[in-house]
Structure 1
Amino acid sequence: MSSEPLESSNVVGRRMRSRREELGWSQEKVGVLIGIDESSSRARISRYEVGTHEPPIETARRIAKALGVPLAYLYCDEEDVAMLLKELATQSANQRRALMSQWLEGLR
C-alpha cells in the first residue's frame, strides 16, 4: 500500500464512495441511513461523492457512522493510514490499547 496522498481534492467523496461500494450499498441506502428523505438521498450522496458539495461535519459524522468507519477515515488523504484507521475501528477498546502498547514498545 502506498502512503501517497490521494490525487483528488475530494478526499471525503472518494472515501465515501469506496467504502459504500465495498459494502455493496446504494447511494440511496446511505442517504436514508443518515436521515435524508428517500426521494433526495441518492442525489445528495452523489453530490458529496463527486465533490460538488462537501458534507457539513455533522453529516460527515453520520455518514462515517453508517459506513462503519471513524470520521478521520473520510478525511485521511493517505491510503495506508486510512486503511489502518478503518482496521483499528473494528477492534475493541482493549485490542486498540494492546496494539498501541505494542507499537510504543517497538519505538523504544
Structure 2
Amino acid sequence: MSFTSPVPARLKEARKKAKLSQKALGVRIGMDEGSASARMNQYEKGKHAPDIQTLKLIADELGVPLNYFFCEEESSAKLACLIAKLSEEERQELINKLNGSEDS
C-alpha cells in the first residue's frame, strides 16, 4: 500500500490562498533569493521535504497551524485551521462538547 505525503499539496494550497509566489514565500522565511523559488517548487512537487523547523516557518508565514500540513482529508485540514483560531478556553469547551461532557 502506497502512502502519499499530504505536505506538498497542503503547502501549495496554503501558498496560493495567501497569494504568494514560491519565491516570495521562500524569501519571507529566510531562504536565499536565488534558490527560494526552486526549493519551494521541490517541496510542492514532493521531490524534497522541508525539515520541521522550515515547515513551522512556512506555517507561521502562511497563517496556518503546523498540523495543517499533515492532514490527509480536506475536512481535517479545515478543522485544523478553525481550531487554531480558537482561544484555549474555546478549545477546551469544544473538547468537552465532543466528549459529551460539559464538566471535564
Q: TM-score, normalised by structure 2?
A: 0.84
Between the two proteins, the alignment pairs up a number of residues equal to 100
1:58 aligns with 2:64: no
Point out where structure 1 has 5 or more consecutive residues left out of the alignment: 1-6
1:42 match: 37
Q: CA RMSD in A?
A: 1.8
Task: Work out the percentage of aligned pairs sharing the same amino acid.
Answer: 38
Query: SS at 1:39's partner residue?
Result: coil
Contact 1:30 1:63 in 2 (8 A): yes
Moved over 2 A (4+): none
Instruction: Answer 1 or 2: which has greater helix percent.
Output: 1
Q: How far does the alpha carbon of each residue in 1:1-54 deviate from its partner, in whole angstroms, 9 at most, with x for none?
A: xxxxxx971410100000111111111121112111122111111110011101
The structure, 1 or 2, with the larger RCO (C-alpha pairs under 8 Å, 6+ apart) is 1
Q: What is the rounded CA distance, in whole Å, between the counterparts of 1:102 and 1:39 in structure 2?
A: 50
Point out where structure 2 has 5 or more consecutive residues left out of the alignment: none
